[in-house]
Amino acid sequence: MAGIVFVLNGPNLNLLGTREPEIYGTDTLDDIAGRMEDRARQLDLTVDLRQSNHEGHLLDWMHEAQAVGAKAIILNAGALTHTSQALYDASQAIRVPVIEVHLSNPHARESFRHHSWVGRGAKGTIAGFGALSYMLALEAAALL
């Protein structure tokens, strides 16, 4: 394999498929993972998909991605996107490019969602395409 891509998911993303489907869609995180694994094989990549409701886990996994020489990190930090200076600091402390991803378009939602600490430290952001956002991020990661 040409490289590994960490796909890190933050708080409440374990509830995909049932949580506010009118905003986040009906795909579960397992559905998304399956499609990403299939496409990653076609791109000669592997994906390591993880989810946690705890900020520290996301930070540790970003550091781990650096330690193992990951090609990229696809990060959907959920609500931590808007509050976590620690995730921003981690993105600056590692050499692995971070691609921010969101199912919905935060700029079309409540004003508190318009600021992204993750986005400030990311190589780029893909948002608003539902589960397809993850696939677009994987395509971008393959080109890095």
From 24, 57, 82, 107, active-site residue: 24
H/E stretch holding 113 reads none
Is 24 catalytic? The answer is yes
- For residue 108, give both structure tokens: 């079309």
From 54, 57, 102, 115, active-site residue: 102
The SS3 of residue 144 is coil
For 110-139, letters b (16+ CB in 10 Å) and e give eeebeebbbbebbeebbbebbbebbbebbe
Per the CB < 8 A criterion, the answer to whether 88 and 118 are in contact is yes
Is 114 catalytic? The answer is no
The number of residues in the chain equals: 144
Positions marked catalytic: 24, 102
